[in-house]
Structure 1
Amino acid sequence: MTRYSIDPDRHELIAAWGTGEGNLATRIAVLPADGAVSALLGLSSALTQLSDAAWRSYTHPADAADAAGASDAAGTPDPDTDGPHREREDDPIGEVARAIAAPNPPRRGAVLVSSGHLLESAHRVGRTLHDLADPRLTEAVLAETATELAAVEAAELGDLTGRAQQAVLLSREDASPVQVAAADRLLEQDPFGPAALFSAVDPTAAAVAAAHWLAAAVEVTAQATGLDPVRVLQQADAVEPLAHETPAVVLGLIETGVSPYDAVTGLVRHAMQITEGLLPIPVALRDQVDDTEEDTTDYPVEEDPGLTDVALRLTPLDPRRPARSLLEVLVGGIHACWLIHAEYAAPAADPDTDPDTGFDTGFDGDPDGDPAARDGDGQAGRQRRSRDRFARLVRATAARHRGRLV
């Protein structure tokens, strides 16, 4: 979300937001010289809350709640879920502008409170502007609010340019098909995960595409090594530390016919609910609790188990940044697959062997026969050829299974 603050030295209202590569800031307006500090701070706080509410409508779309089962068999939203609340949050930009221009005024010490956080934040902004009574400031805030809400709408359509780029820092329960396609193109260019995958694409959508490409990388590696797909990630962990449990969960779901979209959004949604203090499927913890109790009974009476021995992990993702953390381990899994593939596919590591056919090329290093030139190529060259060959194989496999991505 965009954070608003007051520059007390320059007496300006400032807006700042993240981009995935760093933070940007811009001046919104010069503040009235006679404005009370408390009122100015209240304005910045209300604007920040408005931005937070607006971006929540992006991260928690109503249709994602429906996909998670927030309705009964007849299709009626369940009043005990977030569904109806989210529908009330879907306030049009025009309503927000009207609330700022003509907010609910206090009457007899009471204020009419709107049911939606977005609209109520807009009323708070409007009441503060009314107290400050500066037409130029009101005009600037209305323009800024329109810019912020337009950025949210652009992100919902899959356009993460300009102000909407801050969406790359957010976890979303849904994934835009436009953003999934953009992530897929980036991974096709570089199956190891280019930097733009983390700075220019919504992380949930990027994780959907990365799950598809990891499944392809595991298939290629399993064919080259003869290992079971699950064992591929476990073996990779032995070569280079890898949080293989989470990628293994995603792969297991895909192998049972679950789409990468459903596998990823289900995990992200579950983690986001835990972040908000909800335990989506309490019964699923029963086995974990039973296992923990069995483990702790094995400890001697005089020896207490440590916290790591008794703590239950409610989600395999980082609840503070679930989509981004999932994307990181999926991309890490692709790299780990290459390490295993390079170890088993010995011909690809031989500079005298064609990386696609495995036959001797007859090339002995430098065209003039200088051994030093061949030594200069060394391990870096063999590694590059190994990565290139692995990338070609993964591209071909990902293309063969493209139907599961869309």
Structure 2
Amino acid sequence: MTRYSIDPERHELIATWGTGEGDLATRIAALPAGTDTDALLRLARALTHLSEAAWRTYTHPASATASQDPNTEGWHREQERGHFGAVADAIAKPNLPSGGATIASYSRLLESAHQTGRSLHELADTALTEAVLGEAATELAAVENAELGDLTGRAQQAVLLSREDASPVQVAAADRLLELDPFGPAELFSAVDPTAAAVAAAHWLAVAAEVTADASGHDPDQVVQEADNIEALPHETPTLVLKLIDAGATPYEAVTDLVRHALRITDGLLPDPDVLREQLDDLEETLADFGDDAPGLADVELRLTPLDPKRPARDLLEDLLTGIHACWLLHTEYDDLDDEDDDTSAEVWTDEQVEQHQRRSRKRFAQLVREAAAHREPLV
């Protein structure tokens, strides 16, 4: 989301947002000289809340719910997204206190807009009001562009957000990047929505696992875990995704289910109590195997999600790319790379020779993965 702040030295209202590579800032308006700082800070806070509410409609779209019937979660999300067109009017004509009370909107988006409008009413500066109305329009347009898969300009901040759904446009963009470099180019983290990038990465991980399984003889859903014997790796999440795909889930289903589950936990909800009960039962059985030396349940911790709940989509993307790296590691143990540029007579290779060999090995593995991907159904 975009954050708004006050520069007390220059008397300016400033907006800042992330891009995946750093933060950008722009001046929204000059502030009236001598204005109460607390009033200006209330305006900045209200605008930040407005941006947060607007971007939540992007990360939690109605399309990610099972139903949009009246009074369901999907219906409420659809209603909230539909309030975009009323934001400007709420800012220009906010609900003002009357008789010691103020009407509050049930919509987080509209209430943030009314709070912004009340702050502007208190400041009573026409130029500032016009600048804020223009800024609100810019922010809402960024959300709309991100929904369409266009992450240019202000919409680039979407690369830092975890979304419950994945735009086909963004999945296709990530798929093209991974076709160029199956190990994952840097652009995946700065130009593509992370959930969509993770969907494409799960697809390419499944292909890489099949290539590695053919060479090693291991099952495709076990190759990342086997690679952990070569190099310490965060193998749990990639292995889980491979198991889900092996069980019939599509890359889209595997990724969005995991991200959605993590986001529910971030919101303070427990989406699957039955699964937690099973985990607790398994944990009790494991502890019982330790006998009298086993710690009590109060002394152990249990992960509610395999992902980082503060950044689940980007965390998943990182793990899936690590899984592709793991496939290459295991593949090199079984692949007879016949390269005339290697000096096989040397008992000990120099660091430079090792690096050159690894580059050629990665290039060969990437080509094998591309060839295997060409025989699978298109991702989108």
TM, length-normalised to structure 1: 0.88
The residue that corresponds to 1:246 in the other structure is: 237
Cα shift at 1:157: 0.3
8 Å contact 2:222–2:239 — kept in the other structure? no
Cα shift at 1:311: 1.6
8 Å contact 2:87–2:113 — kept in the other structure? yes
8 Å contact 1:170–1:321 — kept in the other structure? yes
1:271-290 equivalences under 5 Å are 271-290=262-281
Residues 1:383 and 2:374 are matched in the alignment: no
8 Å contact 1:172–1:204 — kept in the other structure? yes
CA 1:326–1:364: 2 relative to 1, 3 Å? closer
8 Å contact 2:221–2:246 — kept in the other structure? no
The residue that corresponds to 1:351 in the other structure is: 339
Q: Alignment partner of 1:6: what SS?
A: strand
The residue that corresponds to 1:55 in the other structure is: 55
Give the AA of the match of 1:317.
L
Give the AA of the match of 1:216.
V
The residue that corresponds to 1:76 in the other structure is: 69
1:367-382 equivalences under 5 Å are 378-382=353-357
Distance in 1, Cα, partners of 2:102 & 2:20: 39
For residues 118-142 of structure 1, the C-alpha deviation after alignment (integer angstroms, 9 at most, x for no partner) is 1111111011101101000001101
The residue that corresponds to 1:88 in the other structure is: 79
Gaps of at least 5 residues in structure 1 are 353-362, 366-370
Cα shift at 1:109: 1.2
Distance in 2, Cα, partners of 1:213 & 1:316: 20
Cα shift at 1:233: 1.1
Distance in 2, Cα, partners of 1:397 & 1:89: 44
Distance in 1, Cα, partners of 2:312 & 2:252: 15
The residue that corresponds to 2:133 in the other structure is: 142
Per mean C-alpha deviation after superposition, the further-off stretch among 108-117 and 260-269 is: 108-117
Cα shift at 1:379: 2.4
Q: Alignment partner of 1:402: what SS?
A: coil
The residue that corresponds to 1:394 in the other structure is: 369
1:179-198 equivalences under 5 Å are 179-198=170-189
Distance in 1, Cα, partners of 2:289 & 2:241: 32
CA 1:17–1:304: 2 relative to 1, 3 Å? same
For residues 208-246 of structure 1, the C-alpha deviation after alignment (integer angstroms, 9 at most, x for no partner) is 000000000000000011111122111111111222111
Cα shift at 1:84: 3.0
Distance in 1, Cα, partners of 2:14 & 2:355: 48
Cα shift at 1:149: 0.6
Distance in 2, Cα, partners of 1:304 & 1:269: 32
Per mean C-alpha deviation after superposition, the further-off stretch among 298-307 and 100-109 is: 298-307
Give the AA of the match of 1:95.
A
CA 1:375–1:23: 2 relative to 1, 3 Å? closer
- Of residues 328, 335, 341, the one that matches 1:338 is 328
The residue that corresponds to 1:357 in the other structure is: none
Distance in 2, Cα, partners of 1:316 & 1:222: 24
Q: Alignment partner of 2:65: what SS?
A: helix
Give the AA of the match of 1:337.
C
Gaps of at least 5 residues in structure 2 are none
1:4-403 equivalences under 5 Å are 4-66=4-66, 71=67, 76-77=69-70, 79=71, 82-299=73-290, 301=292, 304=295, 310-346=300-336, 348=337, 350-352=338-340, 378-403=353-378
The residue that corresponds to 1:360 in the other structure is: none
8 Å contact 1:191–1:391 — kept in the other structure? yes
8 Å contact 2:284–2:297 — kept in the other structure? no
For residues 236-260 of structure 1, the C-alpha deviation after alignment (integer angstroms, 9 at most, x for no partner) is 1111122211111111111122111
The residue that corresponds to 1:2 in the other structure is: 2
For residues 328-367 of structure 1, the C-alpha deviation after alignment (integer angstroms, 9 at most, x for no partner) is 0000000111111112102x1x422xxxxxxxxxx798xx
8 Å contact 1:4–1:44 — kept in the other structure? yes
Cα shift at 1:102: 0.8
Distance in 2, Cα, partners of 1:226 & 1:301: 41
Distance in 2, Cα, partners of 1:248 & 1:376: 32
8 Å contact 1:299–1:305 — kept in the other structure? no
Give the AA of the match of 2:325.
H
Q: Alignment partner of 2:228: what SS?
A: helix
Distance in 2, Cα, partners of 1:322 & 1:272: 7
8 Å contact 2:177–2:184 — kept in the other structure? yes
For residues 152-193 of structure 1, the C-alpha deviation after alignment (integer angstroms, 9 at most, x for no partner) is 000000000110000000000000000000000000010000
> Equivalent pairs: percent with the same residue?
66
CA 1:228–1:364: 2 relative to 1, 3 Å? closer
Q: Alignment partner of 2:5: what SS?
A: strand
Q: Alignment partner of 1:318: what SS?
A: coil
Cα shift at 1:376: 9.8
8 Å contact 2:288–2:294 — kept in the other structure? no
Distance in 1, Cα, partners of 2:352 & 2:199: 37
CA 1:222–1:155: 2 relative to 1, 3 Å? same
Distance in 2, Cα, partners of 1:325 & 1:252: 18
Distance in 2, Cα, partners of 1:241 & 1:212: 23
Cα shift at 1:33: 1.1
Distance in 2, Cα, partners of 1:180 & 1:216: 16
Q: How many pairs does the alignment contain?
A: 376
8 Å contact 1:292–1:310 — kept in the other structure? no
Q: Alignment partner of 2:82: what SS?
A: coil
CA 1:29–1:60: 2 relative to 1, 3 Å? same
RMSD: 2.0
8 Å contact 1:93–1:146 — kept in the other structure? no
Cα shift at 1:325: 0.4
> Which runs of structure 1 show a deviation greater than 6 angstroms over 4 or more consecutive aligned residues?
374-377
